[in-house]
Every structure is written in structure tokens, then in C-alpha cells.
Amino acid sequence: MRIFRAHAVPVNPVDPQTFVGPATTQRLAEDPTAVPVGVYRVAFADGGRTNWHRHSGPQWLFVIEGRIRVQRQGEPAQDVEAGDAVVFAPDEKHWHGAVPGCTGTHLAVNVDVTTTWLEPVSESEYQTI
């Protein structure tokens, strides 16, 4: 058994090369044994969002506070809220962030993932639902 203590892990601002707007991230846990899994707490302020990106493995999002907007390429954006979960399949181009006018926090669980960061989400993409 391993225990990961949230208070022992720093909260960091996100990389402006891969996110638009204000957000923070905290790596809560990582286990590289067997199938590598990483768990991140990502808190988005109003206007905060990821760039478009893909993962080599599945990514689960568990919304724990507020409201989060998610979008898969080629489909309309959708809003989810605390208690909801989202899974992106491997290689699915997508983005996620706070619903405009709101804040939101999710836990991201990346299963055997390498992330490929792509272009920023434009303001019109972000605002359109």
C-alpha cells in the first residue's frame, strides 16, 4: 500500500505553452509500476482551459467542484459539473476548462499516457456551446 498526501505536493501554475488563462495543477499521485497511472488535481479560474491535445492512453476526468466545459474535436462542447465524470479515448483530440463565467476543478486520471499538446483553444471555440 502507498499513501499520497495532498498537502505534501505543491500546487503549481500551469504552463502557458499548454494552457490558456489562469489555472493550477497538483500532481496528487503517480505509479509507474505495472500500468503507469498519474492523478492530477486541476483547478481552472474563469477563462482557464487547456490547449487542444491528445493522450496515447485513456484520460478520465472527475469533476469535484464547479463547472467544466469539455469538447472532443468535431463535436459541440458540453458542460459538466461536480459529481460528473468524462473519459476521453486514446488519441481523441480534445480540450477542457472552466465554463465561461465559472470556476471548476477536476481530477484527471491518466492511464499509460503520453500527452501531445496542440494549438490553443480560441476564444470563439471556448465561448461556443
53-108 confidence digits (pLDDT tens)? 999 999 999 999 999 999 999 999 999 999 999 999 999 999 999 999 999 999 99
Specify if 118 maps to a domain.
Answer: yes
Specify if 40 maps to a domain.
Answer: yes
pLDDT value for 33? 81
The pTM (predicted TM-score) of the whole model is 0.94
Q: What would the DSSP string read from start to end of 39-102?
A: EEEEEE-TT-EEPSEEESS-EEEEEEEEEEEEEETTS--EEEETT-EEEE-TT--EEEEEPTT-
Q: Other C-beta atoms within 10 Å of 84: how many? A: 16
Specify if 64 maps to a domain.
Answer: yes
Domain count, the chain: 1
11-68 confidence digits (pLDDT tens)? 999 999 999 999 999 999 988 787 889 999 999 999 999 999 999 999 999 999 999 9
Q: What percent of the chain has pLDDT over 70?
A: 100
Specify if 89 maps to a domain.
Answer: yes
Specify if 1 maps to a domain.
Answer: no
Specify if 62 maps to a domain.
Answer: yes
Say which CATH number the domain at 43 has. 2.60.120.10
Provide the residue range defining the domain that includes 43: 6-127
pLDDT value for 17? 97
Question: pLDDT averaged over the chain?
Answer: 96
The string over 5-26, giving b where at least 16 C-beta atoms fall within 10 Å of a residue's C-beta and e elsewhere, is eeeeeeeeebeeeebbbbbbbe
